[in-house]
């Protein structure tokens, strides 16, 4: 796959200040996903946890459909785009990540999840959705370097860790295809409707999977800490997060919205520092700065400023 030079800036979707603000906020919401999941997995099996996450989030969004007078899809044809989105953006990746977190810590899972922009850029370019320009490729690679610095070099490539990493990598591939699907098939749908309809579809799928494999009715009732984690996962990291996610997709495209996964490890570390009183090391600060530089490279705004000021001419 050839990398094209940046010749056609008018064909590229860019992000304005509002979308950058949304992106940072989304990274905080999704950064909490791994924390909430780690807490809830102590008492709940993976598929049941995913079902609770999706179904509670869907229930939260239902009143918003009525308030905004958004009609439900009609017939199989109307539900099909949301059902496919639910499969590749919720059911498969959420299940893979949660199962992966039974093998690896949440921090490691968030770092693996940061490879999502690579697959999103490649999928979007392979299907002709967005140009694979040199600046974007360089930004992705720089961002991944920042993630490696952020995490450090303490990966234990034992059998359990390898399985966990492979499961989380499978989820990132799913996210790459889901961003493409959202751009092509759901661009005309209001963000609240898109989020709600895919979560409803995903809840039905996960109900079947959880019933077959986990048999949740045979489980002990979780404690209040687990329920708080599930509610945080459903309301903040799912319902609210997906509304913001689809707002960015509609305005700025698939590759831009997936930049959020480069910010998630940063958000996870900052949440740990402010909420759990965890220590921030020097390499984590350096990694965050490298990731920030990667976002500037991919956005291209700095280069345009230099060009306008005559730098390098």
**254-283 per-position pLDDT tens digit:** 667 667 777 888 777 777 677 766 666 777
For residue 266, being part of any structural domain is answered with: yes
For position 152, what pLDDT does the model report?
65
Would you state the pLDDT for residue 10?
A: 39
Residues of the chain with confidence (pLDDT) below 50: 1-11, 311-313
Which pLDDT belongs to residue 258? 65
In a domain, 249, yes or no: yes
Domain assignment of residue 12, yes or no: no
Name which of 302, 175, 219, 181 is nearest 46 in CA terms: 219
11 inside domain: no
Residue 118: CA atoms inside 13 Å, Cβ hemisphere, count?
15
pLDDT at 5: 38
Structural domain that includes position 153: 19-300
Q: Looking at the 3D structure of the chain, how many domains does it have? A: 1
Task: Specify if 313 maps to a domain.
Answer: no
Question: Which pLDDT value is given to residue 262?
Answer: 75
> What pLDDT is attached to residue 1?
42
Question: Which pLDDT value is given to residue 153?
Answer: 59
According to the model, what pLDDT value does residue 279 have? 67
Q: What does pTM read for this prediction?
A: 0.79
Looking at the chain, how many residues does it have? 313
pLDDT of residue 14: 65
Q: Answer whether residue 253 is part of any domain.
A: yes
* Closest listed residue to residue 169, CA positions, set 93, 75, 63, 83: 93
Is 1 a member of any domain? Answer: no
pLDDT for position 55: 97
Dig out the tokens for 189 from the structure: 């749908």
Residue 291 covered by a domain: yes
């Amino acid at each position: 796959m050839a990398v094209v030079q940046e010749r056609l800036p008018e064909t590229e979707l860019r992000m304005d200040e509002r979308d950058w603000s949304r992106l940072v906020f989304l990274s905080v919401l999704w950064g909490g996903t791994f924390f909430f999941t780690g807490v809830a997995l102590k008492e709940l099996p993976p598929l049941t946890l995913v079902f609770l996450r999706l179904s509670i989030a869907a229930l939260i969004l239902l009143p918003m459909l009525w308030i905004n007078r958004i009609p439900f899809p009609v017939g199989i044809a109307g539900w099909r785009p949301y059902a496919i989105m639910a499969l590749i953006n919720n059911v498969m990746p959420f299940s893979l990540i949660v199962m992966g977190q039974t093998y690896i810590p949440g921090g490691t899972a968030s770092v693996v999840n940061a490879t999502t922009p690579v697959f999103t850029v490649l999928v979007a370019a392979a299907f002709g959705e967005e140009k694979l320009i040199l600046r974007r490729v360089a930004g992705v690679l720089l961002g991944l370097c920042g993630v490696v610095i952020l995490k450090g070099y303490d990966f234990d490539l034992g059998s359990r860790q390898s399985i966990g990493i492979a499961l989380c990598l499978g989820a990132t591939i799913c996210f790459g295809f889901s961003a493409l699907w959202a751009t092509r098939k759901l661009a005309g749908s209001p963000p609240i409707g898109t989020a709600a309809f895919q979560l409803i579809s995903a809840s039905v799928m996960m109900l079947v999977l959880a019933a077959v494999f986990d048999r949740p009715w045979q489980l002990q009732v979780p404690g209040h800490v687990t329920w708080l984690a599930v509610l945080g996962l459903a309301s903040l990291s799912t319902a609210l997060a997906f509304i913001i996610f689809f707002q960015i997709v509609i305005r700025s495209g698939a590759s831009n919205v997936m930049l959020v996964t480069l910010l998630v490890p940063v958000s996870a570390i900052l949440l740990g520092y402010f909420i759990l009183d965890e220590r921030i090391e020097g390499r984590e600060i350096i990694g965050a700065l490298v990731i920030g530089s990667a976002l500037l490279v991919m956005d291209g705004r700095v280069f345009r400023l230099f060009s306008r000021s005559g730098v390098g001419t």
